[in-house]
Amino acid sequence: MTVDWIPDSPDELFRKIKEGEIVEMGQNTNRLGPPEEVREAVIRAAEEARYNVYANPKGDAELRRGVVEYFGLDGDFEALITSGAIEGIHAVIRAFACNGTVLTPDPGYKTIDGMMITEGAYVHEVDTYSEEYGYKMTADAVQDALDSDGVDPDDVDMIFVINPSNPLGSALDEGEVRALVELAQDLDAVLVHDCTYRDFADSKPVACEMDPERCVDVYSFSKTYGLAGMRVGAVVGERKLIESIAEYKVGKLGINVLAQEAALAALRCRESWIPKLRRELDRNQKIIRRECVRDGVRIPVFPSQANCLVIDFSEHEHVDSKDVVGALYERGVFVRTGYYTSPRHGRGFIRVAFSVPREDVEYFCSAFNEVMDELLGG
């Protein structure tokens, strides 16, 4: 499912990233974080050796309460702390979608599609790369895909939506998420609302609040707080639903206790950290638009409501995103080909993460324009 082309061997790519030999704008990580409060919490926990006992399999109780509060929930709602959002999504797939049909977005995060296939699910992609749907996985886009592609509604076990979108940065508002919830009800399907990028968005709908019996929200601390390597996330939903999902979680001995301390500190400083971070990201993406848009080169969704965006050059049919990424890599910049998130549309765009220092954004823009001048003959 994933066409994960990179212009180097994986070992060499990660070595160059680790040693700072390339400008890393391809992994949707956040190199502007973590906040100082989070750094201090991790150091303190390491010095106190809090890792010499197993962690609570469900996650630290204070962290679980903090995540539920962060989502604006109370009462019968619970959070399951997981090794990044990916482990939580895997547990949900195992609980509800083995051997059934799952509707997923295209473009989207194809690693998750691959997990679904491994667990026996049939993945049906909903093409969202269209102005008609606002580059979003709306209920209309899903229904049109069901109708035009001949999918039997009775076979659908799950709707999986990434909101805001990876890679486009488009975002569904509360009404649009509610329409997806209602469609899931009509299909008698589970809705998984992957809101990993919600901190960058203006609208922050919570699906499980709309229908606690069939909806869960999935969150990651990786993007907002610069904790990608810590691997800490959560699945949020109605308590009984979360308990059933927990049975399918692979890690039965809990997750890294230092990561959980980092997540706790992140929640405590979020109100001061997130506005500052969003100002940086707004500035960075404005630089990219100002410097990189030209005839036949556009940004389909602006402003992005995530920490990444798409630069589309599909009007120039002879230009392949692999050529663009390869030429940028030669200049010391790593971004993703469009194929990584959409084999269908991937020839004509690249994904660029912009949660990086301003000087890296400016260097990328200069390199990108050099590459496009060469490929377009001008």
pLDDT of residue 377: 83
5 domain residue, yes or no: no
Kindly report, residue by residue over 330-374, the tens digit of the pLDDT. 999 999 999 999 999 999 999 999 999 999 999 999 999 999 999
Counting the structural domains of the chain, the total is 2
Please tell me whether residues 172 and 127 are part of one structural domain.
yes
pLDDT-derived band at 150 (thresholds 50, 70, 90) equals confident
Please tell me whether residues 301 and 213 are part of one structural domain.
no
Mean pLDDT score of the chain, rounded to an integer? 96
DSSP conformation letters of 169-229 = -----HHHHHHHHHHHHHHT-EEEEE-TTGGG-S----HHHH-TTTEEEEEESHHHHT-GG
Contact 108, 339 (CB under 8 A): no
Nearest to 309 by CA among 182, 171, 190, 215: 171
Contacts of 289 by beta carbon, 8 Å cutoff, 6+ apart: 299, 302
Tokens standing for residue 246? 């927990």
pLDDT of residue 151: 87
Q: What is the mean pLDDT of residues 10-21?
A: 94
Kindly report, residue by residue over 202-216, the tens digit of the pLDDT. 999 999 999 999 999
pLDDT-derived band at 75 (thresholds 50, 70, 90) equals confident
Lowest mean pLDDT among 35-44, 131-140, 142-151: 142-151
2 domain residue, yes or no: no
53 domain residue, yes or no: yes
pTM: 0.96
Pairing type for strands 233-238 and 215-220 reads antiparallel
pLDDT-derived band at 106 (thresholds 50, 70, 90) equals very high
User: Alpha helix locations (H) across the chain?
Assistant: 10-18, 36-47, 61-70, 84-96, 110-118, 139-149, 174-187, 207-210, 222-225, 239-246, 257-292, 321-330, 358-376
1 domain residue, yes or no: no
Q: Angle at the Cα of 67 (from 61 to 73), degrees rounded to 5?
A: 110
156 domain residue, yes or no: yes
Nearest to 2 by CA among 107, 94, 90: 107
Alpha carbon 97 to its chain's center = 20
Please tell me whether residues 76 and 162 are part of one structural domain.
yes
Place of tokens 């409501």: 305
Question: SS3 of 39, please?
Answer: helix
Contact 340, 110 (CB under 8 A): yes
CA distance 299 to 317: 17
- Share of residues in the chain with pLDDT > 70 (%): 99
Please tell me whether residues 43 and 21 are part of one structural domain.
no
Nearest to 58 by CA among 48, 68, 50: 68
61 domain residue, yes or no: yes
Please tell me whether residues 244 and 282 are part of one structural domain.
no
Please tell me whether residues 93 and 177 are part of one structural domain.
yes
pLDDT of residue 149: 86
Domain extent at residue 251:
36-269
Nearest to 150 by CA among 130, 129, 128, 124: 124
pLDDT at position 378 over 80 = no
Residue 40 is classified by DSSP as: H
Tokens standing for residue 91? 């547990």
pLDDT of residue 36: 97
Provide the sign of the torsion angle of the four alpha carbons 329, 331, 333, 338, taken in this order: negative
Please tell me whether residues 234 and 263 are part of one structural domain.
yes
pLDDT at position 3 over 80 = no
Q: Tally the C-alpha atoms within 13 A of residue 281's C-alpha that lie toward its C-beta.
A: 32
CA distance 342 to 180: 22
Kindly report, residue by residue over 275-333, the tens digit of the pLDDT. 999 999 999 999 999 999 999 999 999 999 999 999 999 999 999 999 999 999 999 99
Please tell me whether residues 281 and 326 are part of one structural domain.
yes
Nearest to 77 by CA among 66, 89, 88: 66
CA distance 297 to 138: 26
Q: Which of 249, 269, 289 is the last residue of a domain?
A: 269
Kindly report, residue by residue over 91-101, the tens digit of the pLDDT. 999 999 888 89
Q: Which of 269, 292, 327 is the last residue of a domain?
A: 269
Q: What CATH number has the domain bearing residue 310?
A: 3.90.1150.10
Please tell me whether residues 168 and 240 are part of one structural domain.
yes
Please tell me whether residues 20 and 131 are part of one structural domain.
no
Tokens standing for residue 271? 């109100």
Tokens standing for residue 267? 């929640």
Please tell me whether residues 312 and 344 are part of one structural domain.
yes
pLDDT of residue 83: 96
Count CB neighbours of 240 within 10 A.
Answer: 12
Question: SS3 of 64, please?
Answer: helix
